[in-house]
């Protein structure tokens, strides 16, 4: 069962962090050449398809993480430092995603639906900032986990 949990945990983290990396580092600069009335609906479609996968990750990561902490590692008291770092950053990332999903994202969707490109652009900028912070946290988390597993922490 631990092998299934670690596999699901790894895939979920890869989908979420990899998706943010792709969106921020590859997609964003690529579609900046488009006019707002073309670019903003593309982002709306991207979020509509990506956010359900993030929600799956938001559910799978804590379930599998806690399973592994309590079944494979013997609880928090005996878990290595990198697990505590992963736990803290993971909870922070989940909180930021929930904020993003329920505050700037609805404003963005509504503005795109109204074709209010100025408001949509402003809301997208707020989404972008949260995604950047979450991406940085996610990359730090990955470094902590891989370096921690190999003795850095």
70-to-44, 79, 96, 105 alpha-carbon distances in Å: 39, 9, 25, 35
CA 71 to chain centre: 25
- pLDDT value at 38 more than 80: yes
Q: Quote the pLDDT of residue 89.
A: 98
- Write down the pLDDT at residue 56: 98
Q: What average pLDDT does this structure show over 100-114? A: 98
At 6, list the tokens: 């670690």
**According to the model, what pLDDT value does residue 19 have?**
98
pTM: 0.95
Does residue 55 have a pLDDT over 80?
Answer: yes
Q: How far is CA 32 from CA 11, 18, 81, 137, in A?
A: 29, 20, 40, 25
């Amino acid at each position: 069962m631990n092998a299934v949990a670690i596999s699901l945990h790894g895939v979920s983290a890869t989908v979420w962090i990899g998706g943010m990396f792709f969106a921020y580092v590859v997609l964003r600069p690529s579609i900046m050449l488009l006019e707002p009335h073309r670019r903003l609906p593309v982002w709306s479609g991207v979020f509509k398809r990506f956010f359900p996968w993030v929600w799956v990750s938001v559910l799978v990561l804590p379930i599998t993480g806690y399973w592994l902490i309590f079944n494979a590692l013997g609880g928090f008291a005996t878990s290595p430092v990198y697990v505590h770092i992963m736990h803290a950053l993971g909870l922070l990332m989940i909180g930021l995603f929930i904020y993003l999903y329920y505050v700037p994202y609805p404003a963005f969707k509504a503005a795109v639906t109204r074709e209010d490109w100025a408001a949509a652009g402003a809301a997208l900028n707020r989404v972008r900032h949260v995604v950047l912070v979450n991406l940085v946290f996610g990359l730090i988390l990955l470094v902590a986990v891989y370096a921690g597993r190999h003795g850095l922490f």
